[in-house]
Amino acid sequence: MPTISVVVPFLNEEDNLPVCCAFIEEKAQRAAYDVEVLFVDDGSSDGSVGVVSAYPFLHCKSVRLICLSRNFGSHAALRAGIKEATGDYCTYMGADLDEPEAMLDVMYDAIRQGYDAVYVEKTAMRISAFNRATSLMYSGLIRKFAVKNYSKHGINNIMFSRKIIDYLNDNVEANSSIQLQIISAGYKSTLIGMEYRERVSGTSKWSFSKKAKLFIDSFASYSYAPIRLVSLIGFLFAFVGFVFGLYTIFTRIFNPAIVPGYATIVVLLLFGFGLTNISLGIMAEYLWRTFDAARNRPVFIVDDMVALRDAGASTD
């Protein structure tokens, strides 16, 4: 039977992991494919590693626990799992189990139709108005300025073939998005929509600062729009400065009694310097990523890897 490698990155998910492990075991027991599981500990400080290590996996083809040396972030943890994946197909899921119960089966049925990748977008879930608005804004900007075929509702999960597994392992990108890297590669793909669930317990580790970093990484890695925006701002200010200069000259010629005010100068200086610093910040983001890529430091460091179940073990 074909093998699906399932990467499960986690960070301090001690309460959710028992349910997650049980779900994967049940799926492996009755699935029409073999399941290889790669748990990736992204620097947990609770008992998450102990929960995974102690779970009695009986029906998965193989189970490995990959412990990173520190917290590198969810995308780096995914790359660590993908690097060790040996299956015909690979996907990922969260330890909080907000994915639909039938997601693996639906993606597997779809990818067997000849696709290299199956994208899953979230059609419904109870989230705050702010999170929904920011998600739609992110998707809209990505579609317009970076990756044109990105879903307008966002991509939450992907199942991809061995061809893409090898592509990702040969092109490990720092400060990047795995989803955008796969989508922008242009492999044959299809999109399906599914209704997601709420997490089992606890709070999401996907904080606002991490979302902001993903937003910056997405545009710095896949779009030149921010740099072009800097150029447009420069031309705009040059034009405004030229018009204001003409206005000042004509005012001085036709009404010499008018004393120039300091308020206008102060406002223009503050506004101009503010936009200048924003422009420098955008260029610095690109320069930092160039420097980071030139250093060629590892995107993740594996501290330990434990085989919790070998591929040759019996599933009876």
Tell me what pLDDT residue 205 has.
Answer: 66
The pLDDT of residue 270 is above 90? no
Position 12 scores a pLDDT of: 92
Residue 23: which residues within 8 A CB-CB, separation 6 or more?
A: 97, 101
SS3 2: coil
| Domain coordinates in residue numbering, the chain | 3-207+301-309, 225-295
User: 3-class DSSP state for residue 291?
Assistant: helix
Q: Mean pLDDT, the chain, as a whole number?
A: 84
Q: Supply the pLDDT for residue 232.
A: 76
pLDDT tens figures, 291-303: 777 777 788 999 9
**pLDDT tens per residue, range 171-218:** 998 888 899 999 999 999 999 998 887 766 666 666 677 777 778 878
What mean pLDDT is predicted for residues 224-233? 75
11 closest CA partner among 290, 207, 285 = 207
Q: Express as a percent the part of the chain with pLDDT over 90.
A: 46
Question: Which of 9-23 are b and which e, b meaning 16 or more Cβ less than 10 Å from the residue's Cβ?
Answer: bbbbbbbbbeebbeb
Q: What is the pLDDT of residue 202?
A: 65
Q: Could you please state the CATH topology (level 3) that the domain comprising 3-207+301-309 is classified under.
A: Spore Coat Polysaccharide Biosynthesis Protein SpsA; Chain A (3.90.550)
Joined tokens for residue 72: 């590198």
What pLDDT is stored for residue 126 in this prediction? 60
- The sheet carrying 157-161 orders its strands as 189-195, 117-124, 157-161, 89-92, 3-10, 34-41, 62-68, 302-309
Which pLDDT score, from 0 to 100, does residue 63 have?
A: 96
8 A C-beta contact, residue 77 and residue 172 = no
pLDDT of residue 34: 95
Quick: pLDDT tens for 55-105.
999 999 999 999 999 999 889 999 999 999 999 999 999 998 888 889 999
Confidence grade of residue 110 (pLDDT, cut at 50, 70, 90): very high
Which band of pLDDT confidence, cut at 50, 70 and 90, is reported for residue 129?
A: confident
C-alpha R_g of the chain: 25
pLDDT of residue 3: 96
The 3-state DSSP class for residue 130 equals: helix
